[in-house]
Structure 1
């Protein structure tokens, strides 16, 4: 699905403004590790989301990255030096696993007694 032209223009302007800011301020740090900008298709069926990733892959001349497939991530990665532009569909099974795992958030409190830290 194409991005709204106004949103697209604002995103591109923001990237350029960030690059100009970093270049004009050599004293500020940049990330040591690779940094990703990720686009997620709208949540739909797995087949529909994969079709959208495939469509974008065709536009970019990219291939599906097999490494994250076992984790339920159907994606392409476009490297730009230390930056990556990713298009990722998180498949239903992976979303369900994450939902189950995060359902415990706030229910378990680790023991903060320093005597048990060793």
Structure 2
């Protein structure tokens, strides 16, 4: 949960806060780049066990093809009930459209 790479605890905190705002009978489809890893971690370590039955997991399409074949079969949103034709890349498209607002030559780091 705290090793280098994507910090799963951010996603856990986000899901916990989100579910506090939703009615207790709602189910939620979660499309996340590493949903397979997060789902396994939450199941294995019994993190938010009351929420797990209310979450349908999926890996966004762009990232799904970088995963192992069994993961693609289980978590690809177009192979799962309830996701329709969603590809999970809406945020990526939004950031892509907004990137022109950031200066091209923006310096990131220490300037001399």
- For the aligned pair, the TM-score class normalised by the smaller chain equals under 0.3
More strand by share: 1
TM-score with structure 1 length normalisation? 0.27
